[in-house]
Structure 1
Amino acid sequence: MKPAKFEFQRMNSLEDAIKALGEAEGEMRILGGGQSLGPMMNLRLAQPDFVLDLSSVNGLDNIDEKGGKLKIGARVTHARIEDGEVPGTTGAYMQFVASGISYRSVRNRGTVGGSVAHSDPSADWPSALLALGGEVLAAGPSGSRTISLDGFTIGPFTTGLSWDEVLIGFELPILRPEEMWGYYKVNRKPGEFADAIGAVTIGEEPRAVCGATESVPFRVMEIEQKLAEGVNEISVNDVRKILEKYDTGFDDYELQIHAVALSRAVQRAFV
């Protein structure tokens, strides 16, 4: 399997990348770690005319606590998160998520920003970060802006980024030591993309996310309300009844595994 012909450009600065996006004549794709885009190009599911490599761009791989927020650069790899470089309770949650992504060789190169920008419905980070809340940091010809993670994923492989913008990082809340989280995904074997994801964080306000759908991950307000009221266990049957109210397009099997994922995510939060 070989990709279609394309022009490869290694960017030396973020400004160069933004300029190249604006001047491109043809389809242009950003390369982070290449663990999603590469296979799609090899299968010719993606056939960009230009690929911009950001691996030499400085400032996109930092992890900092600043102003009561956690700032994570787009080029931070899954492996660094798995190895505990993100501090605190938020870091423990992200470490758990990262450790279940594919295999170590993929985690060594795959990036959190690349995963969210790619927006595969079955990927971990779009659901996991939505459960945390916070904002996406983007840069374009008009400067930098923030985009709420609520609503950032518009559809499969579609986000709120403009065509001439680059995702440069995230600004996430810092969970306190006493605050809780739970994450559960259903997949046929470890390392594969998920068939269903349940993600829960119980911070200042609870957030519960149903992920790995045929469209976008979404918050489940009824579960969030129950958690806010102090409920610490929700049965699979109760979650099924809640999800039936949403226009998910799930068949009976899909409804069941998503209900299981959410129920077990809640259960894990209180273990």
Structure 2
Amino acid sequence: MSAATPHVTVVRACLRGGAGGSPTAVVVEDDTPDARLDDAWRRRVPAAWGTSHAVYVRREGDLTALRFFTSAGELPACGHGTVAALALLAARAGGDRPHRATLRTGRRVFAGRAGRAGDRFAAAFDAGRVDLREPTAEERVIVLTALGLDPVEAGPDVRIAGVGRERVLVPVADRAALAALTPHLDELRTACDRFGLLGAYVHSTPTPDGVLAARMFAPSIGVPEDIANANSTACLAAHLAGRGITGIAVDMGDSLGSPATITATTGPGRTVELGGTAEVLTA
């Protein structure tokens, strides 16, 4: 990486009990306004800094614009990347009061906030409205088979959901079944590419108070398994709201040795607020 380009800050987003989380590269492009960044450079940052995702932050008047990249290219949204960006903005703002920002991604403008929680930051933002639909018979059979699951035994609660790009939500019986899952990643990538899906978010059955676990497989965007996927958690929260569960806490990352937790609360019209705790590692 060239010294002329903006400084990269690594933020561990969506910690669990102060540990783990998803390391995310955050670049405040305003730090070096004369730097000429291109998207090829933006794609190189995650691998160079040992992260799955990178988020690029730029002031646009009263708005803070966010762009998200993996090594495979740009994403329309990234929940844990948004948590990471908010945590860094709060760290830079200083003070004990929550830092509030109006954020813009390529598709929408929304509110976010982050405040100190000891030596870390608790962040939350409006994930927006979630769109839900039944999978087609073809989507169901091909994607579930690629996951190593029986399309019949998976039951009726499989959903296609989107906040931006669609992904498939797949229930399994419990955490043990989730941990034992061994998807065929090449087949899953082919299936997701065929149907235009971001990936497959497989989750355990929630407890009565909304606690569960999940794993997110997204080989089509260069992430075989994601440590924390907040936007997919928003999708699940909207789906479970139909059962009267309006708040969930989802554990992820255990299979990757980096435990993470994401919270989500559903409001009117299937709107969801996402939350997570983050630690700014470098500044």
Fold agreement, TM-score > 0.5 = no
RCO higher in structure (CA 8 A, sep ≥6): 2
Q: How would you bin the TM-score normalised by the shorter chain?
A: under 0.3
Q: Which structure has more strand as a fraction of its residues?
A: 2
- TM-score normalised per structure 1: 0.26
- TM-score normalised per structure 2: 0.26
Q: Which structure has more helix as a fraction of its residues?
A: 1
